Amino acid sequence: MSGQIPGLLTGVLGTAGLATAAWLWLRATRALRQGGKIERFLDGFLLLSWLGVATFTLLASLSLYNLWTAVAFLIAGGLLALRAAETELEGTRRPAAAAEELAEPQLLGPPDFRSPALWAAIPVLVLALLRLVKGMVQPPMAWDAMTYHLPKAAFWIQSGSLKLPNFPDAWTHYRWFPAGGDILFSWVMLPFKSDLLLAPFGFLVWLLIVAASARLALHLGASRSTAWLAGFAIAAMPAVVAFMTASYVDTLLTLFVLFAVSHAVLFLNSGRWSNAVSSVAATGLALAVKISSMLLAAPLLVAILVPWLWHRRSVKGLAALVAVFSAPCLGYLHTWIQTGSPFYPFKVPIFTSMPFHERLDDLHSGRLLLPEYMTGAGWEGFGRLFWSFPQHMNFGIGGALLFVVAAIGLIAAIRRPGKRKVVLLCLIGAVLSTPAALSSDNLALRTFWIGVMGRGLLPLYAPLLVWAATASKRVAIPGLVLSLAGSAIHFRPLGWSPAMTRPAIEIAAMLVVCAGAGLLLQQVAAKALRPRLRLGLLGLVGLLFLGSWTAVRARARYPVYRETAPKLGAFDAHPMHPAFATAASLWSMLDTPEEKRIAVTVGRDLVGHNQFFYPLFGSRLQNRLVHVPVSAIDDGTDREPKLRYSLARPEAWISRLETESVDLVVGLWQQTPERDWLANQPSFEVAALTDLGVPWIGRRLPSPRPEPPSESGK
């Protein structure tokens, strides 16, 4: 624990600095965030997300992305923004400002659990809290988080720049994926240089999806209680809740899409400048997270900009909207400069002349996969979107019911002429994404990856599902309650393992004690203690909880990782393949106080997607991973292993290890020649960690091994 104290204090101070900057920016932009407390909180998260992506892009492009530079930059910017906000800028409101005040939207207000309709949401909330506690115990274990989401965040934190290594195989396309979600993960990891806060961040995003869905439902005409019920029903679907603590970007994307559509609806109703800004900001963030958002971004921008131009609003306002949309999307410009296409590595149908990653296209279309993996593309695959056993991560039974009730609400809304524009706005994402999902270019997504296809579809379908709240109450309430019950069936399996039980009990007890202490200080001692003293005591309680949680989680980290084998059951989102789970025997060996420089060598297993890089960084991101190419050619292209090793030059590879000052060489799945090359070097010792021969580790010796005596010397 003593070794963790300096990092913990740095994390606390850094978090306090970022919180101060956030407070300044929220104060400066309070005019843009209208409505009640929940609405302002939702829009505050939107603002801070936009600011985080834009600030990261600026600082990282200058190689200045680090905790204290970011704190100083954001606080200075917040102070300037606060001063500028003291005088209201001319031209930011439409001329008929008084008319806007008459079109005040209904406030959401907190959910009233005294309403019998919302009782059905209580078990879902309890099960979500159980997932939160599990996430606070376990280290990151979800597949995509281990292979590229969190490694990218770790590389940025270590280097302070946009630079990513040229690892072969899948990394030749991972490194070019839109990075908006990974950027937000890097901000969450930055203060403590660890994954400590990722699970609470995931839970916060889940709660915001509930509230954002409820807000949109309210604007579409639902009652407050039905709106909240619909919010819980959407968030309870396996495609959302199963990925709550997984550090995948799909929940973030769902949230930003709901923000964008909700503010677009409000803009169409009232013409408020603030709604236009918020909608284009959320649209830009959605596009920064995933390229599939382009299917919704274009219609939303048309819905905002055409009325703006039609009513001849200010050119400055139009320029501001374009800037707000563009700022989070500058990663596409970087990709365009580096690769020749802003959409790389993806092939975009209307831009087929632009370069794309051919092997990724072969993978998505199924041309790279064996025929036996490409079955069930018809009704069987469609059925798996709503039912599979023993684990389900798509829409589930609850989602099927939600689609039915939403269809009823949509049909009723279409009959009302005043609702048709709004209906189109909520439908357009689903309408445009369905043909894309059914195209031959995405055959593997609806066959080989059908078990997780729902998380890819959900963001653009979520606004459609919100219409379930607008059906008549005698249809909506029973339908939504049954949807919640249907989704609850899929909460298992949780991915629980024996090593999680005691730490989970300890953390749950700590949370209860902290909640009780906070309630006591806030309510009971409110009159007896001064506000500053109460705030100080609350801070002390928080620090004690943080220190205790960190210690419990650190003890559980590698016992949990060692139980990732399928029979022991530890996983997040979906289980690891047994062959790749063998690397768990390596991870604890690398997590020592000393910083190490680790060269990683990997083979290709069909899709090149199963290299769990993240645990190699260590729990404090203290290890630096480097790629040492095996040949003189290292242009980042994706070559077949046979070709890659036909160009190999072992002597050059060994020489590069010395040049890079590599301390350890790690070999993951599969077998590669580097192990044999290294075994012949007197400065390294090589050992396999399992009977499979992988993973293996090559350690640099303090002094070279003596050469064995020659035959002539005997």
What pLDDT, on the 0 to 100 scale, is given for residue 639? 66
Give pLDDT, residue 634: 61
Amino acid 710: pLDDT: 55
Mean pLDDT of the chain: 88
Position 6 scores a pLDDT of: 66
**pLDDT above 70 (res 223):** yes
CA distance 176 to 290: 11
Q: Are 460 and 210 in contact (CB under 8 A)?
A: no
Name the percent of the chain lying above pLDDT 90: 58
Structure token pair of residue 186: 């890097």
690-703: pLDDT as tens digits = 877 778 899 988 87
Average of pLDDT values for 96-103?
40
pLDDT grade, residue 282 (50/70/90)?
very high
| Predicted local confidence at residue 482, as pLDDT | 96
Could you tell me the CA-to-CA distances from 529 to 123, 351, 521, 534, 545 in Å, in that order?
36, 65, 8, 6, 22
Mean pLDDT of 85-100: 48
DSSP state, residue 139: P
Q: Which residue has the higher pLDDT, 323 or 674?
A: 323
Helices 224-236 and 453-465: crossing angle, nearest 10°?
170
Residues 6+ apart with CB under 8 A from 319: none
* Predicted pLDDT at 219: 93
Q: Which has more confidence, 602 or 514?
A: 514
Q: What is the pLDDT of residue 705?
A: 59
- Give the residue with greater pLDDT, 419 vs 254: 254
- Among the listed ranges 96-105, 402-411, 564-573, 660-669, which one has the minimum average pLDDT value? 96-105
CA dist., res. 662 & res. 678, Å (int)? 12
Range with lowest mean pLDDT among 272-286, 374-388, 443-457, 460-474: 374-388
Residue 164: DSSP 8-state: -
First to last CA, the chain: 54
What was the pLDDT predicted at 643? 75
Q: What is the mean predicted confidence (pLDDT) over 605-634?
A: 84
- Say if residue 498 is preceded by a cis peptide, omega within 30 of 0: no
Asked if residue 89 has pLDDT above 60, the reply is: no
Q: What is the DSSP string of 31-86?
A: GG--SSHHHHHHHHHHHHHHHHHHHHHHHHHTT--SHHHHHHHHHHHHHHHHHHHT
Pairing between β-strand 664-667 and β-strand 696-700 as defined by DSSP bridges? antiparallel
Helix (H, G, I), strand (E, B) or coil at 143: helix
Residue 493 preceded by cis peptide, ω within 30 = yes
Residue 63 has pLDDT above 80, yes or no: yes
Torsion of CA 170, 171, 176, 179, to 10 degrees: 100
**What is the CA 660 to chain-centroid distance, rounded?**
32
